[in-house]
A and B are shown apart, each in its own frame.
Chain A
Amino acid sequence: MAKIIGIDLGTTNSAVAVVEGGEPRVLENAEGNRTTPSIVGLSKSNERLAGLLAKRQAVTNPQNTIFSVKRLIGRKYSDKDVQNDKKWLPYELKESASGGVEIKMADRWYTPEEISAMVLTKLKTDAEAKLGEKIEEAVITVPAYFDDSQRQATKNAGEIAGLKVRRIINEPTAAALAYGLNKQKDEQIVVYDFGGGTFDISVLEVSNDTIEVKSTGGDTHLGGDDFDKRINEYLVTEYKKQEGIDISKDPLALQRLKEAAERAKHELSTSLETEINLPYISSDSAGPKHFLMKLSRAKLEELVKDYIEHSIELTLKTVKEAGFKLNEIDEIVLVGGQTRMPAIQEAVKKAFGKEPHKGINPDEVVAIGAAVQGGILQGDVKDVLLLDVTPLSLGIETLGGVFTRLVDKNTTVPTAKSQVFSTAADNQTSVEIHVLQGERQMASDNKTLAKFILDGIPPSPRGMPQVEVTFDIDANGIVNVSAKDKASGKSQSVHIEASTSLSKDEVERLKKEAALHETEDKKKREIVELRNNAESLVYLGEKSLREAGEKVSAEIKEVIQKKIDALKAVKDSNDTEAIKRATEELSQEVQKIGQAMHGSSQGPAQPGPTASSTDGDK
């Protein structure tokens, strides 16, 4: 079945995502980028260009390079916004017969739908190449404030591009979908979307699986590009002050500066200071000139402070218009690359007194939400088959009270994992399987789910029997644990139905506890493991001495016996260094016998995991 793609058709950039195997992912375009400039051009050789290529030729061909068409689509020519935009757009506009807008590219007039369709065609073609299959259907997003005419026009653009538009959804709704907020009950959500060229704020209400837009606001001419411009202006002015040279007239210098400024902006999202280093930016009679300047996060924040404040004012206004108080807002979602700026995240957090959602790449979250909607329409597997995960790790207790995990937390079920264990003492004929759940390192700190005994193991030296323990979890979370002695074929098993009955809070509490005790638990486990090692080495040493008989001289035997006694003396202490040292020394001596008595050392005799584990789903 053909896939339904999700398209974020943006003012400056667009992105495409698709749900595959229940997970949404963004599709790279032909140039290998995850976003595509929403630009179309007709080159001088009459070739139609879209995306990055159209952008690259824009300066030589401004009248025939169309961008920001989203500002025009579905609007009347007489619309105030159209008239305002007309003043700064470098291409020609006129009124169509029906009162709409027409755009001139080369010697032909196009409707905004047709131009938008060219962007969509590029997105569709690239997505098809990436997926290796034909795409026929799509979900396209639009701003929440788009009216019927603008929505219809966007839908038409999709149809012109050869896409059946299954649904037009709001950008903020898509963002909320991407975070799975549609599953919430009766919540108020604010979506703060600071894109490249526009700032949109939306207040949504979720109830009964529907998302309703309560109010919208923002500034259609405020975006991350304005931040870049401010930084640029600042750098040019500072440079003029320092060197007395105006580089704003040199296109390459300006381009280099622009890119460096953008990179500096990105870097300042994670570091407090960055350096802009551009050697040979220009030259005068005195020789080449270099550009070297430090930019701090504080300076950047100072440069754009008014923009951020303005955006917060607009946000508060929009929430008020929706008829809500600030403390009634349950969730805040950040969208748009500019929201990576820590100062913006702080300002939003301060305004609402809540941590905003920001886990998903803010440039891609809308496309991902559109893909999720596409997945729902398609009835993707996820809808029919909700796969669960194990909330906590499962495993058994091994020698020294250590908790050995077989199934890690967050493993998708159904699943089966098995591992081979052995005995801890000579002639041990039964093993106790103690099934536990939790994240702590020691068995006693975790929750017991079941205990059972496998007996009838033929008597043999410690470490020899192979007991395979298998955890099998079905789709309902019911755990079946079985233990089987490979030699005798005897087996025992237990059913555990309550393994997932822990409440969400309980799971969280257990995870937190584990994190809290991590270091101390690790130390405890390390000591136990050292002790286990020491014990098996003592065992091996004594056994070797017994078996060596006459083949080894009395002197060597005596040395080894001494080392064994030394290790025995320290192994139960908490002095890890002493245990390590004594183990090391004994190990070296024992090897001497081993070399003489080939075959006496038969691998790890430790009753921990002794064979590779196998897993697979059932």
Chain B
Amino acid sequence: MNMNEDNIKELEQIKQEREEYLNGWKRAKADFVNYQKDEAKRREELVKFSNEYLIRDLLPIVDSLEMYLAMTADSKEKKGVEMIYAQLVGELTKQGMEPIKALGELFDPALHEALGEMEAEQPSGTVAAELERGWKLNGKVIRPTRVKVAK
């Protein structure tokens, strides 16, 4: 068979187009498979941390109860609130919540948020005062502990 130049040109063009389309198809397919994987991962995370927003919004209530307990003299009523507080924290612990240790530890911005510095007997750079407790949910910091750092 005799191929003239036009035919060869056309064939080359078709070859090139074929490559282009095949690549596009492969890419679309790969994107889809990746998307499915991502979606599965996202769903997994969603399940794991679905409570995160709710719990984060509940933390100020935990704080308020703690402040009440710290500032109120012992009484029958206080005992009641203490028990309510224990109930609440117990439930949060069951959900995977865990308080972050801070006092006396070396200041670590991954766990702590500095609101100021203060003179203290402790070594410089360690947490001298805990202002607001931080929390981890299943190992992830959902609120850092607010601290003052020793000068």
Q: Quick one: which of A16-64 are within 8 Å of B by CB?
A: 20-22, 31-32, 43-45, 49, 53-54, 56-61
Partner of B116, one of A31, A59, A279, A280: A59
Shortest Cβ distance from B65 into chain A, in angstroms?
A: 9
Instruction: Provide the residues of chain A in CB contact with B140, threshold 8 Å.
Output: 32
B20 touches A251 (CB 8 A): no
B97 at the binding interface (Cβ < 8 Å): no
Partner of B117, one of A45, A59, A381: A59
Partner of B115, one of A54, A59, A280: A59
Known: A57-B114, A58-B114, A280-B67. A252 touches B109 (CB 8 A): no
Instruction: Provide the residues of chain A in CB contact with B107, threshold 8 Å.
Output: 44, 57, 60
Q: What total of chain B residues lie within 8 Å of the partner, measured CB to CB? A: 33
A57–B146 Cα distance when bound, in Å, is 11
Interface secondary structure of A, over-half rule: mixed
A21 touches B31 (CB 8 A): yes
A53 touches B110 (CB 8 A): yes
A255 touches B71 (CB 8 A): no
A385 at the binding interface (Cβ < 8 Å): yes
Instruction: Provide the residues of chain B in CB contact with A20, threshold 8 Å.
Output: 31, 34-35, 38
A616 at the binding interface (Cβ < 8 Å): no
Interface flags, A264-289, vs B, CB<8A=1, else 0: 00000000000000011001000110
A386–B26 Cα distance when bound, in Å, is 16
A59–B38 Cα distance when bound, in Å, is 38
Interface hub of A31, A60, A255, A287 (most chain B Cβ within 10 A): A60
Instruction: Provide the residues of chain B in CB contact with A252, threshold 8 Å.
Output: 115, 131-132, 146
A279 touches B117 (CB 8 A): no
Known: A45-B125, A60-B107, A279-B67. A384 touches B24 (CB 8 A): yes
B71 touches A59 (CB 8 A): no
A288 touches B71 (CB 8 A): yes
B27 at the binding interface (Cβ < 8 Å): yes
Q: Which residue of B lies closest to A20 (CB)?
A: B31
Interface secondary structure of B, over-half rule: mixed
Q: Which residue of B lies closest to A53 (CB)?
A: B109
Shortest Cβ distance from A284 into chain B, in angstroms?
A: 12
Known: A255-B146, A283-B71. A381 touches B28 (CB 8 A): yes
Interface flags, B116-135, vs A, CB<8A=1, else 0: 11000000110000011000
B113 at the binding interface (Cβ < 8 Å): yes
Q: Quick one: which of B92-151 are within 8 Å of A by CB?
A: 106-107, 109-110, 112-117, 124-125, 131-132, 140-141, 144, 146, 148-149
Partner of B24, one of A49, A53, A381: A381
Instruction: Provide the residues of chain B in CB contact with A61, threshold 8 Å.
Output: 114
A49–B106 Cα distance when bound, in Å, is 16
Known: A280-B68, A280-B71. A60 touches B35 (CB 8 A): no
Partner of B112, one of A1, A44, A45, A56: A56
Instruction: Provide the residues of chain A in CB contact with B64, threshold 8 Å.
Output: 279-280
Instruction: Provide the residues of chain B in CB contact with A60, threshold 8 Å.
Output: 107, 114, 116-117, 149
Interface flags, B41-67, vs A, CB<8A=1, else 0: 000000000000000000000001001
Partner of B114, one of A31, A59, A381: A59
A49–B31 Cα distance when bound, in Å, is 34
Shortest Cβ distance from A96 into chain B, in angstroms?
A: 30
Q: Which residue of B lies closest to A49 (CB)?
A: B109
Q: Which residue of B lies closest to A21 (CB)?
A: B31
Q: Which residue of B lies closest to A130 (CB)?
A: B38
Q: Which residue of A lies closest to B129 (CB)?
A: A252
Partner of B68, one of A44, A57, A279: A279
Instruction: Provide the residues of chain B in CB contact with A44, threshold 8 Å.
Output: 107, 124-125
A381–B31 Cα distance when bound, in Å, is 10
Interface flags, A163-206, vs B, CB<8A=1, else 0: 00000000000000000000000000000000000000000000
Known: A56-B114, A279-B67, A280-B67. A251 touches B131 (CB 8 A): yes
A251 touches B116 (CB 8 A): yes
Instruction: Provide the residues of chain A in CB contact with B141, threshold 8 Å.
Output: 31
Interface flags, B10-32, vs A, CB<8A=1, else 0: 00000000001000100110011
Q: Which residue of B lies closest to A41 (CB)?
A: B109
Instruction: Provide the residues of chain B in CB contact with A385, threshold 8 Å.
Output: 24, 28
A448–B125 Cα distance when bound, in Å, is 77
A1–B31 Cα distance when bound, in Å, is 11
Partner of A251, one of B112, B115, B125: B115
Instruction: Provide the residues of chain B in CB contact with A43, threshold 8 Å.
Output: 109
A32–B149 Cα distance when bound, in Å, is 26
Shortest Cβ distance from B111 into chain A, in angstroms?
A: 9
Shortest Cβ distance from B40 into chain A, in angstroms?
A: 13
Instruction: Provide the residues of chain A in CB contact with B110, threshold 8 Å.
Output: 53
A184–B68 Cα distance when bound, in Å, is 61
B27 touches A381 (CB 8 A): yes
Instruction: Provide the residues of chain B in CB contact with A56, threshold 8 Å.
Output: 109, 112-114, 144
A69–B24 Cα distance when bound, in Å, is 41
Partner of A255, one of B28, B35, B109, B115: B115
A49–B122 Cα distance when bound, in Å, is 24
Between A and B, 29 residue pairs with Cβ closer than 8 Å are A20-B31, A20-B35, A20-B38, A21-B31, A21-B34, A22-B31, A43-B109, A44-B107, A44-B124, A44-B125, A45-B106, A49-B109, A53-B109, A58-B114, A59-B116, A60-B117, A60-B149, A252-B146, A255-B146, A256-B132, A279-B67, A279-B68, A280-B64, A280-B67, A283-B71, A287-B71, A381-B28, A381-B31, A384-B20
| Interface positions of A (Cβ within 8 A of B) | 1, 20-22, 31-32, 43-45, 49, 53-54, 56-61, 251-252, 255-256, 279-280, 283, 287-288, 381, 384-385
Q: Which 6 A-B pairs have the closest CB atoms?
A: A280-B67, A21-B31, A53-B109, A56-B113, A56-B109, A252-B131
Extra A-B contacts (16), CB below 8 Å, given A44-B124, A251-B131: A20-B31, A22-B31, A56-B112, A56-B114, A56-B144, A59-B115, A59-B117, A251-B116, A252-B115, A252-B146, A255-B146, A279-B67, A280-B67, A283-B71, A381-B24, A381-B27
